[in-house]
A and B are shown apart, each in its own frame.
Chain A
Amino acid sequence: MKRYYIALISLLLLVMQGMAMSLLPSKLVYSNLLMTPHWVLLFLLIVAIFFDRDKTYFAVWYGMAFGLLLDIVYTGILGVYMVTYALVIYVIHGINKTIHSNFIGASLLVILGIILSDTLLYVIYSFVQITSMPWSTYLILRLLPTVAANMIFFIILYPVVKDRVTQWSEVVNNA
């Protein structure tokens, strides 16, 4: 049952992600800095860190499913977000075993996750010629603002969901 809550929250974040772009003040969202919200990824990373045990990979499967949904709804080019999110969550899940699960550790992992996924997206999209931005411009105009904007959201999201997710994890794994 608790697993469906995770799916529901991810779906809600996915829906809000696109609405945020049209409802937030346009001066903030549409400056020269290309901020991209990765809210679904943020939440699934928290799930990977606090919900999944060493042998369970729920977050990776969710990453795949909601990545595909993101592709369908927001970009129209299938598979890119799906593979990126699944891979990044898998890598973070692997690193998580060696790091303490507290706020500092989690934020480091999330920053790494965002950098990895956004760079991977950039690489794939430049291969299929959706973007032709040079690396240096990408780093300054897109990667840094994206990481900053998403960390603000992470700081808001973390206290709201962390305890709940940990609690669900205990319920699911002890049952």
Chain B
Amino acid sequence: MPSLFRRKRLMAVLIGFIVLVALIGFSIRDRDTLTTPEKFFKDTVGWMQSIIHKPISLVDNSVDNIQNMFEVYEQNQVLKARLSEYKGVIKDNQRLKDDNTELRKTIGKTKSLSDYSPIQATVIARSSDRWFEQMTINRGEEHGVAKDMAVLTSEGMIGKIKSAGAFHSTVQLLSGFDRSNKISSWVVREDKNEAFGLIEGYDGESGRLLLKGIKLDEELKKGDTVISSGLGGVFPSDLRIGTVEEVVNDQFGLTKTAYVKPFADLFNVNHVIVVDRSMQTVDNEDQKEDGDS
């Protein structure tokens, strides 16, 4: 019966299409938590990855070590030269820190925006689809990771937590940032106050972040450091983001846009730190939802 068979196929295609649209619609909106089956599968795959990751990373690390050995001499020369500089800086830093805590105590404000408790994690996998700049790390809700926390390497910020499973979570890298995940940041300049701006996306071609909304009369130099301001309500302040490379006026000529080169290498990432801000975080979304309903 060809007609019946053909009708069956048509039905399958239609149902498939409906399921596709429904699932995309369900999952693409900004969800606070994952559903239980999603968490379950994520953790299951995560555990398998952790098990396989152990022996492979051992080999990987020893290859790295051998490669490093060849560069050790040159590095040593450079570092020796820097060492004396750092000694002075450390002393200064220590003194300033003590000063700061003392002053904070006197005004009765012990917590600051820059305080955070770190959660160490290892990267076990990356999204296989390059349009999703995401990776999986081996720490989850059980270890205190929650959605929207900042993720760092020793060099600088690399992204934020997109979703947290029970024992594994997904990190959205800076290269996958768009308008919906802004970072409020400061440009640190010599002899002047910080200039304020928002990181609003990533230029894939040149591999640089877009720092938008800088006031027209602010003078930025190439090489100025960009740090997070902590005013966005989620990230702590003073996380290193990148350096300014190029400044242009935006398309309407009302503000300036700076291209920021991230400090951290977004591709070769092995160990990360998830940052849990000590200061209470502002829950924008909940308030909005409450207001709507």
Main secondary structure of the interface of A (DSSP, over half): helix
Q: Of residues A16, A19, A26, which shows the largest number of chain B Cβ atoms within 10 Å of its Cβ?
A: A19
Q: Could you say which residues of chain B place their CB within 8 Å of the CB of A23?
A: 56-57, 60
Q: Of residues A18, A20, A80, A86, which shows the largest number of chain B Cβ atoms within 10 Å of its Cβ?
A: A18
- The reply to whether B128 and A83 contact each other, CB–CB distance below 8 Å, is no
Q: Could you say which residues of chain B place their CB within 8 Å of the CB of A21?
A: 125-128
Please judge, given known A-B contacts A69-B45, A77-B28, A79-B23, whether A18 and B52 are in contact too, CB under 8 Å. no
- The reply to whether B131 and A86 contact each other, CB–CB distance below 8 Å, is no
- The reply to whether A18 and B49 contact each other, CB–CB distance below 8 Å, is yes
- The reply to whether B45 and A22 contact each other, CB–CB distance below 8 Å, is no
Q: Does A30 contact B (CB under 8 A)?
A: yes
Closest residue to B12 on the A side, CB-wise?
A90
Q: Does B184 contact A (CB under 8 A)?
A: no
Flag the segment in A43-51, A107-115, A125-133, A154-162 that touches B. A125-133
Write 17 A-B pairs (CB below 8 A) sorted by A numbering: A19-B52, A19-B124, A21-B125, A23-B57, A23-B60, A26-B265, A34-B130, A36-B128, A37-B128, A75-B127, A77-B28, A78-B24, A78-B26, A78-B27, A79-B27, A82-B23, A83-B20
- The reply to whether A74 and B127 contact each other, CB–CB distance below 8 Å, is yes
One digit per residue, 1 when the CB lies within 8 angstroms of any chain A CB and 0 when it does not, for chain B 200-230 equals 0000000000000000000000000000000
- The reply to whether B56 and A74 contact each other, CB–CB distance below 8 Å, is no
Please judge, given known A-B contacts A15-B49, A77-B27, A86-B16, whether A22 and B128 are in contact too, CB under 8 Å. no
Q: Does A17 contact B (CB under 8 A)?
A: yes
- The reply to whether A35 and B132 contact each other, CB–CB distance below 8 Å, is no
- The reply to whether A76 and B20 contact each other, CB–CB distance below 8 Å, is no
Q: Could you say which residues of chain A place their CB within 8 Å of the CB of B49?
A: 15, 18-19
Min Cβ gap A112→B in Å is: 19
B contacts with A, residue count (CB < 8 A) = 42
One digit per residue, 1 when the CB lies within 8 angstroms of any chain A CB and 0 when it does not, for chain B 146-157 equals 000000000000
With A and B bound together, what is the CA distance between A87 and B20 in angstroms? 12
With A and B bound together, what is the CA distance between A14 and B38 in angstroms? 16
One digit per residue, 1 when the CB lies within 8 angstroms of any chain A CB and 0 when it does not, for chain B 161-189 equals 01100000010000000000000000000
- CB-contact partner of A128 in B24, B48, B123, under 8 A: B24
Closest residue to B57 on the A side, CB-wise?
A23
- The reply to whether A19 and B132 contact each other, CB–CB distance below 8 Å, is no
- CB-contact partner of B16 in A19, A20, A78, A87, under 8 A: A87
